[in-house]
């Protein structure tokens, strides 16, 4: 299997792909037309990218069957176009969570203690202790988290260590226990003693993003970009923050209305830490003019949230695991574009002797009857003499058609149709083995 790696990638990952039996083509500087040309030229089966964009034309350039995003999120890949072509899209969720959380907390601390301004004054030969002695501190403040996946939970752990209260909201919901606390976190993180009093909640689960903003002294965004989250942090939500509150975005720029954010910085005195921007350069080094980053009280980094040695090694190992599993089994783990819904109305269960052509005969019946198979599972019994196949169908084949299929192939022992609703209407065909 040929694997084209079209972005910066760890040496350990390249070696791991080769050890998995792959032919690896490493061309980390491919972009746009050069990437499209390389996909066709190499006839690769698998494409691995980090931030490089993979639009629809790339997917028609060769014979791709799998695109792996070496990181979290897949917004740089045209997933809809890949799905229409039967191309798997997979990513590496959670492997850079600690790295992103560390940077986000670094930005929070930098904002609170004005560390970049301190450094700039010292480098300019100025001593200004009187000015920089002013800071609010983090203990007792509330960290608001929009998003409570793996990165959000890493943020919660660090906030607990700083003695912060936490308010969270997640677009997919947060499962809580009977006391109303998230069940995904260890007890140390979920609860803390306060001034010798009985243990009280540290985390408050909010019902809306607006509620988080109203509670937060620091609001940090950790949401994936999709149709529901695009522009979620808008003027109304920012307007609910307290004057002088901190705002952090290490997720995706398009989740936030940056024009509204610039206005909030100027009118409400928000202090902001950013790692992502609306129009980032496509290369590692370039001129860059972001008006928001020029405002007083706004600190920025260069989209480096996942850029630690630990995170990159973990991501490389996960890419190898995904590709190796695909090579060995044909299955893709961490797939993001498999349907979670089905139009199936019935399940067909076929028990049969393990002989060639049995299922082909069943499929022939379906084809002539206009029945579509959504999913198929085949299980082999001990001794490999008999099997059972389960098929999800969009409609039931007629009892007459299946009776003919059984009569035509004595290897079929039993056929059962199970409706996914109204089970009383099911029917069952069994061969008389004593006849």
Residue 174 tokens, joined: 């947060």
In a domain, 334, yes or no: no
Active site residues: 252, 280, 303
Summarize pLDDT for 148-197 with one digit per residue, the tens.
Answer: 989 999 999 999 999 999 999 988 766 655 545 555 554 444 444 444 44
Are 155 and 251 part of one and the same domain?
Answer: yes
- pTM tops 0.85: no
Summarize pLDDT for 74-112 with one digit per residue, the tens.
Answer: 989 999 999 999 999 999 998 999 999 999 999 999 999
Q: What φ, ψ does residue 172 adopt, rounded to 5°?
A: -100, 5
Are 170 and 254 part of one and the same domain?
Answer: yes
Are 91 and 104 part of one and the same domain?
Answer: no
Above 90 in pLDDT, residue 426?
no
CB 9 within 8 A of CB 315: no
Q: What is the β-pairing status of strands 386-393 and 373-380?
A: antiparallel
Q: What φ, ψ does residue 120 adopt, rounded to 5°?
A: -60, -40
In a domain, 337, yes or no: no
305 exposed, middle or buried (CB, 10 Å; 0-12, 13-18, 19+)? buried
Share of the chain above pLDDT 90, in %: 68
Q: What φ, ψ does residue 269 adopt, rounded to 5°?
A: 70, 25
Average pLDDT in the chain: 88
270: domain CATH number? 3.40.50.720
Q: Which residue range is the domain that position 152 belongs to?
A: 97-305
Above 70 in pLDDT, residue 213?
yes
Are 85 and 195 part of one and the same domain?
Answer: no
Are 300 and 209 part of one and the same domain?
Answer: yes
CB 89 within 8 A of CB 335: yes
HEC letters along 242-290: CCCCEEEECCCHHHECHHHHHHHHHHHCCEEEECCCCCCCCCCCCCCCC
Are 256 and 169 part of one and the same domain?
Answer: yes
Are 28 and 41 part of one and the same domain?
Answer: yes
In a domain, 66, yes or no: yes
Of 283, 270, 177, the residue nearest 220 (C-alpha): 270
């Amino acid at each position: 299997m040929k694997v084209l790696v079209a972005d910066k990638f760890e040496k350990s990952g390249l070696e791991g792909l080769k050890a998995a039996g792959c032919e690896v083509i490493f061309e980390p500087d491919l972009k746009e037309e050069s990437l499209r040309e390389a996909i066709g030229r190499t006839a690769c089966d698998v494409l691995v990218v980090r931030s490089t964009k993979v639009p629809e034309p790339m997917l028609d350039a060769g014979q791709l069957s799998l695109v792996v995003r070496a990181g979290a999120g897949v917004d740089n890949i045209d997933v809809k176009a890949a799905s229409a072509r039967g191309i798997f899209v997979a990513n590496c969720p959670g492997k850079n969570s600690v790295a992103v959380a560390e940077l986000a907390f670094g930005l929070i601390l930098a904002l609170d203690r004005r560390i970049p301004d301190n450094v700039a004054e010292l480098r300019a030969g100025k001593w200004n202790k009187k000015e920089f002695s002013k800071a609010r501190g983090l203990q007792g403040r509330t960290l608001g988290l929009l998003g409570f996946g793996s990165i959000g939970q890493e943020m919660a752990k660090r906030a607990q260590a700083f003695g912060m209260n936490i308010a969270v909201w997640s677009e997919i919901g947060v499962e809580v226990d009977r006391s109303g606390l998230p069940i995904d976190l260890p007890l140390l993180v979920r609860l803390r003693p306060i001034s010798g009093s009985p243990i009280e909640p540290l985390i408050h689960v909010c019902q809306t993003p607006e509620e988080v903003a109203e509670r937060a002294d620091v609001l940090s965004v950790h949401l994936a970009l999709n149709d529901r989250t695009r522009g979620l942090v808008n003027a109304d939500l920012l307007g609910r923050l307290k004057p002088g509150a901190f705002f952090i975005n290490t997720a995706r720029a398009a989740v936030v209305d940056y024009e509204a954010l610039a206005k909030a910085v100027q009118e409400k005195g928000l202090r902001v830490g950013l790692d992502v921007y609306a129009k980032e350069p496509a290369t590692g080094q370039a001129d860059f003019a972001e008006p928001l980053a020029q405002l007083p009280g706004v600190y920025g980094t260069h989209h480096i949230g996942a850029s630690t040695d630990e995170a990159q090694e973990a991501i490389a190992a996960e890419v190898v695991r995904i590709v190796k599993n695909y090579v060995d089994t044909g299955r893709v783990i961490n797939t993001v574009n498999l349907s979670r819904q089905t139009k199936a109305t019935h399940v067909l269960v076929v028990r049969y002797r393990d002989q060639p052509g049995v299922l082909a005969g069943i499929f022939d019946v379906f084809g002539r009857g206009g029945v579509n198979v959504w999913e198929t599972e085949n299980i082999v019994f001990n001794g490999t003499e008999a099997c059972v196949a389960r098929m999800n169908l969009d409609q039931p084949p007629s009892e007459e058609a299946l009776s003919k299929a059984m009569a035509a192939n004595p290897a079929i022992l039993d056929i059962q149709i199970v409706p996914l609703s109204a089970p009383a209407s099911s029917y069952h065909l069994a061969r008389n083995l004593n006849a």
